[in-house]
Amino acid sequence: MKPPKPERILVIQLRQLGDILLTTPILRELKKARPDAEVTFLSHVMGRLVVDGNPYMDRHLTYSDTMSWSEELSLVQKIRSLKFDYVLDFMFNPKSCFYVSLSGAKKKVSFESSRSVFFNTLVPRGGGAYIVDEKFRILRAIGISPSSISLDLPWDEHHIGPVQQLLKVDSFAQSKLRVVISPTHRRAHRRWSLESFSELAMRLIQNWGAEIIWLWGPGEELLCDEAIARTELPTLKAPKTSFKELAALISNCDLFIGNSNGPSHIAVAADIVSLQLHGPTLASSWCPMTSKHHAIQSHDGTIQGLTTDEVWSELERMKDFIFNESETRKKSGLKTNWKM
């Protein structure tokens, strides 16, 4: 008698990097609940920056914006050939619905939306819950009870070059408190002012003896340079990093402060203390709101509605916890992989 065929599950989160990272708990919780299932992830090729090395998936399918029609056809044929039992679509946009409609899957699951016609199992959307908890609604719809919202971003000793570069700077190597600040966001209305970030950096240096490291990504270096120029005391600019090198750098620091952006989710994955700043975005949706991860919401719905005093007051409430975590980091030494 042949053993039963393992369930085959396709998880779709096409992009962006932060959203892909926020979907990694789905892969882990699927594997925990159904270890024999074959879990496939489908994303834009950019997703490799996040999920390469992820132990909770069996296969990663990717598309790119430059694919020819024949390449697109090959991808669809591959999806169909895998004969999925479930497709879980966390994107439900025209592109993902295209793949869902041609997948041949028995159960096509997503949230209620204007594209509900593409699915045969629909899940109501919540209001204001952390995005990972929101995604877990889909798992519960297929009989899985998830247990952990932690994010998975695999990295190892190959990614610690930028950290080792910073360790050559005495002030970083010997600092009692390493604070990474991310002043960037691709949408200007979600960026706190550089003047406010610089004022906050000055307070951290003067009152807490912190070493400040400014984070930046592609196309953001000039913004980072301006923040450094506005700060009257010496601070550091992070070296150029890949996505996982940035994770390794953040993992070897004590506190993240920044706008709600990709690095803020990396800080959550790295499990260092973090403080997210929110204006038009709902803090409770994008921050897990645990003892380590805090967020502050402006009162007027604009990011500039946050004052430096408000942010500083929140940091003061977190101070004991921050310094306790710093002591733990110093005792543990250099982190060289994501599991440490």
Task: Give pLDDT tens digits for 177-219.
Answer: 999 999 999 899 999 999 999 999 999 999 999 999 999 999 9
The amino acid present at 80, given as its one-letter code, is R
Give the pLDDT score at 12: 98
Percent of the chain surpassing pLDDT 90: 96
pLDDT band at residue 65, thresholds of 50, 70 and 90? very high
**Distance (Å, whole) CA 306 – CA 300:** 8
What secondary structure letter does DSSP report for 55? Answer: T
Give the pLDDT score at 1: 58
Closest among 186, 262, 267, 264 to 223, alpha carbons compared: 186
Integer Rg of the chain from CA? 21
The amino acid present at 196, given as its one-letter code, is S
CATH class given for the domain over 157-332: alpha beta
Mean pLDDT, residues 82-102: 96
pLDDT band at residue 4, thresholds of 50, 70 and 90? confident
Helix, strand, coil: what percent of the chain each, to 5? 45, 15, 40
Long-range residue pairs from 101-110, CB within 8 A, at least 24 positions apart, any chain: 102/76, 103/10, 103/79, 104/79, 104/80, 105/10, 107/142, 109/138, 109/141, 109/142, 110/138
Give the pLDDT score at 3: 64
Helix (H, G, I), strand (E, B) or coil at 237: strand
Residues of the chain with CATH 3.40.50.2000: 8-141, 157-332
Closest among 115, 106, 166, 95 to 142, alpha carbons compared: 106
Give the pLDDT score at 61: 98
Give the pLDDT score at 2: 64
Q: How far is CA 260 from the centre of its chain?
A: 10
**Distance (Å, whole) CA 163 – CA 157:** 10
The amino acid present at 4, given as its one-letter code, is P
The domain defined by 8-141 folds into: Rossmann fold (3.40.50)
pLDDT band at residue 5, thresholds of 50, 70 and 90? confident
Residue 289 backbone class (left: φ over 0; alpha: ψ -120 to 50; beta: rest): left
**Distance (Å, whole) CA 106 – CA 93:** 20
Mean pLDDT, residues 164-174: 95
**Average pLDDT, rounded, for the chain:** 95
The pLDDT tens digits for 226-271 are: 999 999 999 999 999 999 999 999 999 999 999 999 999 999 999 9
Give the pLDDT score at 128: 81
- Burial of residue 101, with CB atoms counted within 10 A of its CB: 0-12 exposed, 13-18 middle, 19 or more buried: middle
**Distance (Å, whole) CA 118 – CA 101:** 6
- Alpha-carbon dihedral sign for residues 116, 260, 185, 214: negative
Cis preceding linkage at 16, omega within 30: yes
Length of the chain: 340
Task: Say what the pTM is.
Answer: 0.94
Question: Which residues are bridge partners to 211 per DSSP?
Answer: 178
Question: Which residues are bridge partners to 40 per DSSP?
Answer: 10, 59
On whether the CB atoms of residues 115 and 96 are closer than 8 A, the answer is no
